[in-house]
Amino acid sequence: MKTEFKSLDQLLQLSSKSSDFKTTTIVLGKQEVSIFYYSTLIDAKWMQQHLIHVVQNRALDSEIKDIEDIKAWIPINDIDITDDLTKIQSKLLKGYAIVQLHGNEQKCVLVNLADNHGLRKNNDTENEFSVVGPKVGFIEDLDTNIGLLRTIINIPNLIIKEIIVGTTSKTKVAVIYIDGVTNEQNVQTVEQRLSGIDHDVVFDSSVLDQMISDNSLTPFPLFVSTERRDRVVYSLINGQVAIISDGSPYFVLGPSTLFDFFISPEDYYLPWILGSFFRLIRIFGVIFSLFTTSMYVAITTYHYEVIPKDLLSPLIFSRMNVPFPPFFEVLFLEITIEFLREAGARLPTKIGQTLGIVGGIVIGQAAVEAALTSNILLILVALSALASFTTPIYKMSNAIRFLRFPIIILAALWGGIGIFIGLGFLFVHIIRLKSLGSPYIVPIFPLRIMSFKDGFIRSSFQILNKRPQHLRPKSSVRYLPKSVKQKNDLDEE
């Protein structure tokens, strides 16, 4: 989004909406000098030593007559004097400070004070990994995270508002959005809910996620939680609101829909056909993970007639020595898999990987040989566990892991009818869910045909030029796609 400014005051007025935009005024004899900068983009020590202290010391011996004097005093190479608003805006958002002499508001000095925020050796994402695309993740410092965002969203319309949450911790929480794109009602809702929190200590953004949620009686996450910079940037330019607390590397994004949890940033770095295919694989994987073991219980307990004749003999042979009914057999294996998952997640990385592989093979083989379970069920449970991890967002995979158990119980009680009862309750529940007042399963309900272009599939960039309408953005067009004319190099003009 591009904003045209008629004067420097308009640029400074828009920038001042952000909490990280600072103004410092220095009195040098009879003159006043104002310094404007983004604290998240500059090196504060460098500014104090090489700008403020130097100018103050030189002003004791000399008098400032013109803006050129300030440029001559500052011992920094990258300095420029200009009145070009486009250049001033660009430099300000690249980590430069604007030095302005009162009485001469037309020209100003641009001083390079940029700091390489967030560029450290171990800055890769740990839990959201993709083969293609940038791997820059956030860290536990709020200013650094905001600086990482500003390096990509290089416009003054990126607004940061800080709110103090926590009666004991006094944690700084930043509400981030793009002015002129994000619906103001969503921003006001977030600010109102954050201001109404009465809690002692805020350790992580995940705590805020639960406190501002529309419904606390649901296993589904109502806000996307991510540590990837590209995912946060994509959400902001679409019109969502981002929330992060100091001390947390995870951003909370809302309003979110169910489809947001199946979208990976990698989808947009691959050709749209491949991106759509892998997204459909994820959606199918979640459905498979949710109903596979419950269907096994229902079929082997009540519905033998649906088993093909060729499969019936291997199934009878595999369960011939198993003394338990299918329900206890499935429950035993599912709980065993959960034990391995939790143990692998809590142990150090190298030990956890070894435990997951060795434990799964040893326990699975021993369970089959001891006739505690059938080998067919072992394969189904293993595939179901793998499919639950296809979701890019870890919180959604946790919800899928939990929902399998009540559906298994319903399948054991009433068979296929029990599965359909559970599916009906699940549909009714998610239809009633909202995220910041926005429907959770849009574009399915309410039906939005045009929004399907980035739902089940990822369409071409020629089609994805408009923002999702369920976010009610103030500006619906992201960019104007232009067709590229192909030219054959062999053609002669």
Q: What pLDDT is stored for residue 116 in this prediction?
A: 63
State whether 248 and 355 are in the same domain.
no
Same domain, 157 and 220: yes
Angle made by CA atoms 235, 224, 203, in degrees to the nearest 5: 115
Task: For the chain, give the mean pLDDT.
Answer: 89
Last residue of a domain, one of 231, 256, 281: 256
Q: Given 256, 280, 312, which residue is the final one in a domain?
A: 256
Are residue 90 and residue 177 in the same domain, yes or no? no
pLDDT on residue 105: 67
Confidence of residue 87 (pLDDT cuts 50, 70, 90): very high
Out of 94-108, 195-209, 248-262, 418-432, pick the least confident: 94-108
Contact 410, 421 (CB under 8 A): yes
Residue 492 belongs to a domain: no
Assess contact for 242 and 251: CB atoms under 8 A: yes
183 shares a domain with 303: no
Identify whether 416 is part of a domain: yes
Contact 432, 445 (CB under 8 A): no
Domain finish residue from 90, 112, 134 = 112
Closest CA to 334 of 247, 238, 408, 435: 408
In this predicted model, what pLDDT tens digit does every residue of 172-201 receive, in sequence order? 999 999 999 999 999 999 999 999 999 999
Task: Indicate whether 310 and 252 sit together in one domain.
Answer: no
One domain for residues 232 and 297:
no
Domain membership flag for residue 37 = yes
pLDDT at 239: 95
Supply the range of the domain harboring residue 235. 142-256
Give the span between the Cα atoms of 415 and 298, in whole angstroms.
Answer: 4
Note the pLDDT tens digit of each residue in 290-313: 999 999 999 999 998 898 888 888
Is 493's pLDDT higher than 60?
no
Lowest-pLDDT choice from 52-61, 238-247, 466-475: 52-61
DSSP 109-134: EEEE-B--TT--TT-B-SSS--SSS-
Which long-range contacts link 136-140 to residues 24+ away (Cβ below 8 Å)?
A: 136/228, 136/229, 136/230, 137/227, 137/228, 137/229, 137/249, 138/227, 138/229, 138/232, 138/244, 138/249, 138/250, 138/251, 139/249, 140/246, 140/247, 140/248, 140/249
Same domain, 31 and 158: no
The answer to whether position 420 is within a domain reads: yes
Q: What residues pair up with 165 in beta bridges, in sequence order?
A: 171
On whether both 242 and 378 belong to a single domain, the answer is no
- Residue 462: pLDDT over 70: yes
Burial of 413 (0-12, 13-18, 19+ CB in 10 A): middle
Are residues 304 and 355 both part of a single domain?
A: yes
Which of the four pLDDT bands, split at 50, 70 and 90, describes residue 215? very high
Note whether residue 211 is domain-resident.
Answer: yes
pLDDT of residue 1: 61
Q: Is residue 198 part of a domain?
A: yes
Q: What percent of the chain has pLDDT over 70?
A: 93
Q: Which residue has the tokens 């995220």?
A: 435
Q: Is residue 396's pLDDT more than 70?
A: yes
255 upstream amide cis, omega within 30 of 0: yes
Q: What is the pLDDT of residues 225-256, one digit of tens each?
A: 999 999 999 999 999 999 999 999 999 999 99
Q: DSSP assignment of 402-468, as one string?
A: HHHHHHHHHHHHHTHHHHHHHHHHHHHHHHH-EETTEETTTTTTTT-GGGGGGTTS---TTTTTB--
pLDDT of 283 strictly over 70: yes
206 shares its domain with 322: no
Q: Give the pLDDT mean for 141-156.
A: 92
Q: Tell me: do 360 and 401 sit in the same domain.
A: yes
pLDDT tens, position by position, 477-487: 999 887 766 66
Residue 309 sits in the same domain as residue 196: no
- Domain count for the chain, please give it: 3
Tens digit of pLDDT for each residue in 313-358?
888 888 888 888 999 999 999 998 888 888 877 777 667 666 766 7
* 90: in domain: yes
Distance CA 19, CA 109 (A): 23
Runs of H (alpha helix) within 151-271? 184-195, 205-211, 229-238
Which neighbouring-strand residues pair with 421? none
Beta-carbon contacts of residue 314 (< 8 Å; ≥ 6 apart): 376
pTM: 0.91
485 domain-assigned: no
